[in-house]
């Protein structure tokens, strides 16, 4: 199905999963789009079969908690950060629900995790004001970048560069092969208001960077020139939570939840709002919205996980 205005506006709630008792704090599709994984404040990881439309058995993480869940490139393992006991990152085998490795080094909560689209490396950004470069095969940190403020991080879609959002005002662009030499580009932004950058994402076509905040403001930036293209507003965030906005696979639309149970959709071409969807529970925050990378499907996460599909043609 083509991703266009008409079809995007046709999304309907199709399945609601009530596997969690507290907020789902993150979710992620694997690269094939057949699986979705989520982490929750109730210390539970859930994997969903997107083709069958069913949840698989939950994986408990009671001792350490779980946040920032991300599939690895293979889709057979996942990474998540801790919410209790320590600030380590954990590498989980999904086939037997056992941990393969712990990555130790951060001294405060990990705020951002990004998995390389081309190899076995990943990035972590922490409230300890460091970004660390890792290799899945080693518990030893492969690179350390000290930042002047709280960072968020993401790879570009080619996996050759990464961006670090620093102190809610600067984006530093780094060559993955020479990151120790510092950024090859620094982009600075001055926006009015008291807010904190909570997520940074490159668009699938690599031309834009999306910056989510803990307020009702999202920034869309040109990844090459650094020009601020659009600001997206109008979604409620009265609780100052880290709502995670995301792109459609063609990079033409941006999706974000809100604290009043609505999903907002904007066009990246002109910055205009396309439509708003309303869920059954307007008191529940939509923490995360993700578009399936391979099929015409949305997943939205609050306390419940919801799958959105277009109407079925009876013909």
Which tens digits make up the pLDDT trace of 106-156? 999 999 999 999 999 999 999 999 999 999 999 999 999 999 999 999 999
Q: Give the number of domains in the chain.
A: 1
Q: Closest Cα to residue 246, out of 196, 195, 289?
A: 289
Task: Note whether residue 40 is domain-resident.
Answer: no
Q: Is residue 95 included in any domain, yes or no?
A: no
Q: Which runs of consecutive H residues, i.e. helices, occur in the chain?
A: 5-8
Please state the rounded mean pLDDT for residues 222-249. Answer: 95
Q: Which of 268, 267, 182 is nearest to 228 (CA)?
A: 268
By residue range, what is the domain housing residue 136? 5-23+108-309
Q: Residue 58: inside a domain, yes or no?
A: no
Q: Which two tokens stand for residue 235?
A: 């979604």
pTM (global) more than 0.75: yes
For the chain, percent of residues with pLDDT exceeding 70: 99
Is residue 94, in this structure, part of any structural domain at all?
no
Distance CA(49)–CA(167), nearest Å, equals 38
Is 217 within the bounds of a domain?
yes
pLDDT of residue 15: 96
242, part of any domain: yes
Residue environment code for 205-214, b if the CB has 16+ CB neighbours within 10 A, otherwise e: eeebbbbbbb
DSSP 288: E
Q: For position 19, which CATH number holds?
A: 2.130.10.10
Q: Of 125, 175, 117, 177, give the one whose Cα is nearest residue 150.
A: 125
**Residue 96: inside a domain:** no
Q: What spatial distance separates the first Cα and last Cα of the chain, rounded to whole Å?
A: 16
* Residue 193: C-alpha distances to residues 54, 169, 199, 214, 252 (Å): 42, 12, 17, 11, 27
Mean pLDDT, the chain, rounded, equals 95
- What pLDDT, in 10s, does the model give residues 276-293? 999 877 778 999 999 999
Q: Is the pLDDT of residue 314 over 60?
A: no
**Is residue 92, in this structure, part of any structural domain at all?**
no
Q: What is the pLDDT of residues 146-199, one digit of tens each?
A: 999 999 999 999 999 999 999 889 999 999 999 999 999 999 988 777 899 999
pLDDT at 57 over 90: no
Q: Name every residue whose Cβ is closer than 8 Å to that of residue 67 and which is 6 or more positions away in sequence.
A: 25, 26, 39, 80, 81, 82, 83, 110
């Amino acid at each position: 199905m083509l991703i266009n205005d008409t079809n995007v506006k046709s999304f309907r709630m199709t399945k609601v999963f009530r596997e969690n008792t507290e907020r789902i704090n993150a979710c992620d599709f694997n690269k094939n789009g057949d699986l979705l994984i989520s982490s929750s404040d109730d210390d539970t990881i859930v994997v969903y079969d997107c083709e069958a439309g069913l949840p698989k058995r939950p994986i408990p993480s009671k001792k350490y908690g779980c946040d920032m869940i991300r599939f690895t490139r293979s889709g057979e393992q996942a990474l998540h950060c801790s919410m209790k006991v320590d600030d380590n990152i954990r590498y989980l085998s999904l086939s037997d629900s056992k941990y393969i490795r712990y990555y130790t080094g951060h001294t405060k909560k990990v705020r951002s995790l990004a998995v390389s689209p081309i190899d076995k490396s990943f990035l972590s950004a922490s409230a300890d004001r460091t970004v660390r470069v890792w290799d899945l095969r080693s518990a030893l940190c492969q690179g350390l970048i000290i930042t002047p403020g709280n960072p968020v991080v993401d790879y570009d879609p080619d996996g050759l560069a990464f961006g670090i959002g620093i102190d809610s005002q600067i984006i530093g662009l780094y060559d993955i092969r020479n990151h120790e030499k510092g950024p090859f580009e620094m982009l600075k932004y001055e926006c009015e208001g008291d807010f904190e950058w909570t997520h940074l994402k490159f668009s699938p076509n690599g031309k834009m960077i999306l910056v989510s905040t803990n307020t009702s403001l999202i920034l869309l930036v040109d990844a090459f020139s650094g020009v601020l293209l659009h600001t997206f507003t109008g979604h409620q965030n009265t609780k100052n939570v880290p709502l995670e906005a995301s792109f459609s696979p063609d990079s033409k639309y941006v999706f974000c939840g809100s604290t009043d149970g609505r999903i907002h959709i904007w066009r990246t071409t002109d910055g205009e709002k396309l439509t708003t969807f309303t869920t059954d529970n307007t008191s529940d925050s939509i923490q995360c919205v993700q578009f399936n990378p391979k099929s015409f499907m949305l997943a939205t996460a609050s306390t419940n996980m919801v799958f959105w599909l277009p109407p079925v043609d009876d013909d």
